[in-house]
Amino acid sequence: MIVYNITVIGDMMIFFEALTEALALIFSGDAEIYGIMLLSLRVSGTATFLAACCGIPLGMFLGIRVYIGRRIVNNLVNTFMGLPPVVIGLFVFLALSRSGPMGFLSLLYTPTAMIIAQWILATPIITGITMAAVRSVQNKYRDTALSLGATESQLWFTILKEARISILAGICVAFGQAISEVGAIMIVGGNIRFSTRAMTTAIVLQTRMGIFGLAIALGIILITLAFLVNLIFTTLQEGVEVIR
Amino acid sequence: MTLLKVNNLSKKYAEKYAIKDISFEIEQGEFFTLIGPSGAGKTTLLRLIDLLEPPTSGQIEYNGWSLQTLPKKKIVHARREMGFVFQNPVVFSSTVKANVAYGLNFRKLSTDEIDERVQSALDMVGLRGFEERKALTLSGGEIQRVALARTLATEPNLLLLDEATADLDPTNVALIEKVLKKFNKEKEVTIVMATHNFFQAKRLGDSVGFLMEGEMIEIGTTDQIFNNPSDKRTEAFISGEMIY
């Protein structure tokens, strides 16, 4: 019993020491921490932006158009929405490795490779959510818009406008998935210090090395960032609601 | 002058005819009411006229144009000559004013003209002062009036109404009927109104068509249909013997 209590107290001491160190690191403006944070934001932000650029039009097309094999496409998109990041990482690695089909680009272990992996992760999420959103909106508004004289492009714009809150939520989910994943960027980025070390890969490394201060600091920043991004999206959604 | 000519029109859903071999003509400026029990095919007929669905067979001629052979651009043009108020109308997620302006924006009218038409339409349906209200917060009857104002604002040549006063209280029914009569008599707008309320058909229509199980049983002047029907089924319906 006494030994157990001493162990627990010892663990608590380690945790509080690490926490104190983490807070000190955050408030000292440590260049490495902020470099890692900015890289994570740049990679996940760019990947989500590119995924939105592809996923929204693709989701709209798949959701609005009636075509043969619609059910199969639905299932495919839903399957891709749940793709494990490590599998994405594996395939991007194979494609970008020197002997792979895109090896000549020399992108492996660069932030660009990380963006590609996260773009592949985020695109099906935005596509799937957009597809479902426009489909339900279309059923509700198609006839009204057409009977009011909408052309095909005006109909698409009207549907997009009515589905905007769900699409915004899809972008938010995709960004959350991208910034919190570790498997794909670990494989294609290589977790190279001052180059491809992102918050999640850094946390894994520091934890394995027993350097909990830096790991906790990055964990706090990651949670804060996720909170802030969600806050921004929620505010945007509420703004849309107010406009409604 | 004949505005609308329907020739041997049929519409089949999964082997069952919703509309079966219907033919009739409507003159410019005529107020035509479609009566019949629920499920008779009144809504389907209106949807076919507004080109929201293609017929299984038969032809619709509007203003000399054969609607089934029109190119895509001309279809929008033809639809813009018509207005459709649905039985269960939906409003867009914006203000009442923006809702009423929807069809006008599709037509790319000037801001001044849009403002003028919106005000006039809202006045007509008794919704002045509702401009900045969020349309989604309105009651069923108010939504019905917004939908009517939205369609009237586009100044259609042919107005299709599907049980457009079903959700309204008697005061508002009287108001809307007055507006419709005014539009019909002063602006020579042709109106096709589906209703299962034959008292309303009697009050408003120049001519009446009795539809049952997808077939046009009888067409004639309002006086003829209500005072001297030639078909026993019409007689049973207007005498209230037919349960619907």
For residue A56, the model assigns a pLDDT of 97
Whole-number Å distance between alpha carbons of B216 and B6: 11
The whole-number average pLDDT for the span A163-167 is 92
Task: Indicate which of A136, A138, A147 best probes the interface with B, i.e. most B CBs within 10 Å of its own CB.
Answer: A147
Which ipTM was obtained for this model?
0.93
For residue A233, the model assigns a pLDDT of 80
Confidence at A170, pLDDT banded by 50, 70, 90: very high
- Amino acid sitting at position A162: E
Residues 96-125 of A with CB under 8 A from B: none
Neighboring chain A residues of B132 at a CB cutoff of 8 Å: none
Residues 213-242 of A with CB under 8 A from B: none
Token pair recorded at residue A189? 């980025």
State yes or no: pLDDT of A74 exceeds 70: yes
Contact state of A141 with B92 under an 8 Å Cβ cutoff: yes
Residue-range domains of chain A with CATH: 2-243 (1.10.3720.10)
Number of domains in chain B: 1
- Amino acid sitting at position A89: G
Contact state of B94 with A144 under an 8 Å Cβ cutoff: no
In sequence order, the β-bridge partners of residue B32 are B192, B207
DSSP 3-state of B61: strand
Confidence at A232, pLDDT banded by 50, 70, 90: confident
- Amino acid sitting at position A90: L
Whole-number Å distance between alpha carbons of B41 and B19: 6
Confidence at A244, pLDDT banded by 50, 70, 90: very low
Closest Cβ–Cβ partner in B52, B92, B107 for A146? B52
Q: What tens digit of pLDDT does each residue of B33-80 get? A: 999 988 899 999 999 999 999 999 999 999 999 998 988 889 999 999
Range of the domain at B203: 2-238
State yes or no: pLDDT of B240 exceeds 90: no
Give one DSSP letter per residue of A40-75, joined into a string. Answer: HHHHHHHHHHHHHHHHHHHHHHHHH---TTHHHHHH
Contact state of B89 with A151 under an 8 Å Cβ cutoff: no
Nearest Cα of chain B lies from the Cα of A133 at a distance, in angstroms, of 15
In a domain? residue B244? no
Tell me which of A19 and A192 has the higher pLDDT.
A192
- Taking Cα atoms as reference points, which of B154, B170, B243, B155 lies closest to residue B203? B170
In a domain? residue B188? yes
On average, the pLDDT of chain B sits at 93
In a domain? residue B118? yes
Neighboring chain A residues of B103 at a CB cutoff of 8 Å: 148-149
Q: What tens digit of pLDDT does each residue of B213-226 get? A: 999 999 999 999 99
Whole-number Å distance between alpha carbons of A176 and A26: 22
* CB-based contact, A144 to chain B, within 8 Å: yes
Whole-number Å distance between alpha carbons of A144 and B91: 9
Neighboring chain A residues of B156 at a CB cutoff of 8 Å: none
Confidence at A8, pLDDT banded by 50, 70, 90: low
The whole-number average pLDDT for the span A31-53 is 96
- Taking Cα atoms as reference points, which of A22, A80, A64, A3 lies closest to residue A212? A22
Q: What tens digit of pLDDT does each residue of B145-180 get? A: 999 999 999 999 999 999 998 878 898 899 999 999
Q: Which residue has the tokens 């867009």?
A: B92
**In this structure, are strands B31-35 and B57-62 parallel, antiparallel, or unpaired?**
unpaired
* CB-based contact, B101 to chain A, within 8 Å: no
* CATH code of B199's domain: 3.40.50.300
